[in-house]
Amino acid sequence: MKSLKQFFKIIGFEAAVWISALLYLAFVHHPGETHFTICPIGNLGFDFCPGCGLGNSISYIFNGEYIQSFQSHPLGIFALAVLLFRIIYLIKYNRRKHGKHISTNAFS
């Protein structure tokens, strides 16, 4: 339990949110399918939302559909790179702040 708590301290809340969002886009979200959305622009009936376009673009990247990704939003690859850089930065920062060693021994 202690090592799990230490692990989550090193990941940090913000990095966990970004990792969860990317996992959702990689494995759950399917661009082009209609689904419930909390997007206010989409709920107002507009066809294009820059935020939704980025999400679709990143999802297309994870599926290997790079042309559709660029058509969905030209900055999708850049946004994915920024998110990955931010995740790595946060984990490195939290690791320095909370300790470099995570015990993998179940009895410690």
Residue-wise pLDDT for 49-98, tens only, equals 777 889 889 999 999 999 999 999 999 999 999 999 999 999 999 988 87
Q: What is the pTM of this model?
A: 0.78
Residue 66 lies in a domain: yes
Residue 108 lies in a domain: no
Residue 12 lies in a domain: no
Instruction: Quote the number of domains for the chain.
Output: 1
101 torsion bin: left (phi>0), alpha (psi -120 to 50), beta (else): beta
Residue-wise pLDDT for 15-53, tens only, equals 999 999 999 999 988 887 766 667 777 777 777 777 788
Q: Which domain holds residue 50?
A: 24-32+40-100
